[in-house]
């Protein structure tokens, strides 16, 4: 669970830094987060409001990244995802590549194949 807590802290820190210029509504401690929309690795559009009342982990992922590959090869990520799921956490793998041709910007079919490859290791 220590690893999970560190991962959540890391994810929150990265999220704060990467979205600092695009935040439209201020988050308030003790209140629900403002709604936003992100695209999952599989191409699905996710609205935070769809998960009202749930703890949501946003994993920005890039299947072409050697560090992402390292953590999936070692089953680090799958183990953490499963531990989170046991606790009722919603885990969303978000596409980190934002434009065609970028490393990790997979087609829907390639993203599905990538997810299936790693799901088999669970």
Domain ranges of the chain: 2-22+36-119
Q: In angstroms, how far is CA 48 from the centroid of its own chain? A: 12
Q: Name residues of the chain where pLDDT drops below 70.
A: 1-25, 98, 120-122
Instruction: Look at residue 3 in the predicted model and tell me its pLDDT.
Output: 52
CA distances from 60 to 28, 30, 31, 85, 95 (A): 23, 24, 24, 17, 6
Per-residue pLDDT of 7-36, as tens digits, reads 444 455 455 444 444 546 677 888 888 899
Q: 69-108 burial, b if ≥16 CB within 10 A, otherwise e?
A: eebbeeeebbebbeebeeeebeebbebbbeeeeeebbbee
């Amino acid at each position: 669970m220590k690893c999970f807590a560190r991962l959540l802290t890391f994810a929150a820190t990265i999220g704060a830094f990467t979205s600092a210029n695009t935040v439209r509504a201020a988050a308030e401690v003790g209140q629900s987060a403002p709604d936003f929309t992100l695209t999952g690795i599989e191409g699905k559009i996710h609205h935070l409001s769809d998960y009202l009342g749930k703890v949501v982990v946003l994993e920005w992922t890039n299947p072409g990244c050697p560090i992402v590959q390292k953590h999936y090869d070692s089953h680090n990520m799958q183990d953490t995802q499963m531990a989170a799921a046991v606790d009722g956490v919603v885990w969303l793998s978000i596409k980190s590549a934002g434009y065609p041709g970028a490393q990790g910007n997979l087609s829907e079919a390639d993203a599905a194949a990538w997810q299936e490859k790693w799901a088999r290791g669970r």
